[in-house]
Structure 1
Amino acid sequence: MAGVILSLAAVIGGNMLEGGHTDSLIQLTAFIIVFGGTLGATLVQTPLHIFLHALKRFRWIFFPPPMARSDIMKKMVDWSKISRKEGLLGLQAVADREKDKFTRKGLQLLVDGNEPDDIRKILEVEIDSFAAHEMNSAKVYEAMGGYSPTIGIIGAVMGLIHVMNNLSDPSLLGPGIAVAFVATIYGVGLANFFFLPMSNKLKMLVNDQVQYRDMLVDGMVAIAEGENPRSIESKLEGYLT
């Protein structure tokens, strides 16, 4: 939110310092052309289920999913201690209480006695599928950032056409041209202040999620191999940085 506020304050504040009026930047028609056109072009490019999923991921931009790596590391050390004392079947109660689906699946694979290599392969398929699915959401906002400036130019040209149709009235030329170029501001502004930063933010969050899951996989495999809890802790500490 701080980034959004700072960006808007810089643009609006700079306009005011130059003697401009904020009202001149508020044009509903230009916004409808740019935002609606961008949305439509993106819908043409994107399958509906991916587009709807991208809208759900909008929340991540301001409220990222929690990833307490130190907490999960402590949990895995505790799980390794349980497995060494009670065997892998002792983790069944832990798996039943686990809320995260990915973690619960890993624990269930341990309880079922799968080989370490099989556990890694199964969970890595889950990670690859997750990453591809979530990266598609980021690409939706990236596409919006690509279309928005072009739609803004279309809006500006449409405004200039309207100005040309009123050349007989000089009093309408100045305001008409100003309104036309507001569409360009909206197109470039939406792309660079919102859509492209949102896309990059989602990509970073997905990479963090993938690394978090990689940490879980390494921990699960180490438990399956019967490694010492201290050894597991030392191995996973690298993910905390």
Structure 2
Amino acid sequence: MDILSVVGVVLGLVAIIGGSLAKGAGLSSLWSAAAFIIVMLGTVAAILVQTPMPTFKRALVIFRWLFQPPKIPGRELLNRIVGWSARARKDGLLGLESDIERLNDPFLRKGLQMLVDGNEPDTLRKVLEIDMHSQEQADIAAAKVFEGMGIYAPTLGIIGAVLGLMAVMQNLADPSKLGTGIAAAFTATIYGIASANLFFLPLANKLKAVIRARSRSQELIIEGLIAIAEGENPRNIEARLQGYVT
């Protein structure tokens, strides 16, 4: 569980609700079904028009990374690769074959399988880098779905406010409805700006950070497996890969 994300979401809600109460507007001023429909449904509609189906499905999958990001065991991964290099120098590459089925990471499993199969270092690099960049691009595109929602939501909030003011203008003859009507109109603006700046845009940036961290760990895997294929000394491999571990 990512505690910072949980705390951030809670503080964001506290900021909006607490600010409304502190200003004397009350909780009721924060709710408007019409504003919610215009902003949230409109934002989803806009992003659906923009996004290909595979990218949208991937966005739904990686959404959970906000609270449960994938584990990036940098030090553990480095130690494992150094251990493999020592065993490969002693027993040969085939001595690593028993480890393949025990690996949960598909990228690491594929790389180790290619290493055991005797692929040349250049082939290892080309194949694994293509896999890494393809996955990274797909996930970045998925993260940009939420970035796009953060761009559209404020605009939809303005549209909601304008529609609300249009409704107010139709009731100018009844002054008793003007105050509540104007307040309801600006609720849409709050939905749009708050959802963008307190949720959608931070979510997109958080996902991008997780994706970059995972790509960095995959770079460690690539460099480590290539070093093993080249028969490099385990101590040299450890020193070579230290820069990938934070």
Question: TM-score, length-normalised on structure 2?
Answer: 0.95
What amino acid is aligned across from residue 63 of structure 2 in structure 1?
Answer: F
Pick the aligned partner of 2:106 from 94, 101, 116.
101
After superposition, residues 115-194 of structure 1 pair within 5 angstroms as 115-194=120-199
Distance 1:193 1:147 in 2: 14
Per-residue deviation at 1:11? 2.4
Matched residues, number: 241
Matching residue's letter, 2:134: S
1:114 corresponding residue in structure 2: 119
Output the amino acid matched with 2:188. Answer: A
Corresponding residue of 2:77? 72
Whole-angstrom CA distance in 2 between matches of 1:177 and 1:104: 60
Following superposition, the deviation at residue 15 of structure 1 comes to: 2.2
Residue 90, structure 1, aligned to residue 95, structure 2: yes
**Match 1:30 to one of 28, 35, 46:** 35
For residue 96 of structure 1, report the CA deviation from its aligned partner. Answer: 2.1
Does residue 216 of the first structure (1) align with residue 221 of the second (2)?
A: yes
| Letter of the structure 2 residue corresponding to residue 80 of structure 1 | S
Q: What's the RMSD between the two structures over aligned residues?
A: 1.0
Q: Deviations over 1:98-120 (max 9, x none)?
A: 12110011001111111111111
Q: Distance in 2 between matches of 1:64 and 1:2?
A: 15
CA distance in 1: counterparts of 2:16 and 2:32, whole angstroms: 16
**Structure 2 runs not aligned, ≥5 long:** 1-5
Provide the rounded CA distance (Å) in 2 between the counterparts of 1:172 and 1:82.
80
Q: Secondary structure at the match of 2:101?
A: helix
Q: Deviations over 1:20-75 (max 9, x none)?
A: 21111111221111000000000000011211210111100111000111111111
Q: Deviations over 1:108-165 (max 9, x none)?
A: 1111111111111111111110110000111100110110000011111111111111
Separation in 1 of the partners of 2:223 and 2:28?
57
| Normalised TM-score (structure 1) | 0.97
C-alpha distance in 1, partners of 2:146/2:187?
A: 22
User: Which residue identity does 1:217 align to in structure 2?
Assistant: I
Identity %: 52
State how far apart, in whole Å, the 2-side matches of 1:118 and 1:51 are. Answer: 32
Q: State how far apart, in whole Å, the 1-side matches of 2:123 and 2:81 are.
A: 19
Partner of 1:166, secondary structure, is coil
Structure 1 ranges of 4+ moved more than 6 A: none
Partner of residue 58 from structure 2, selected from 50, 53, 59: 53
Q: What amino acid sits opposite 2:179 in the alignment?
A: G
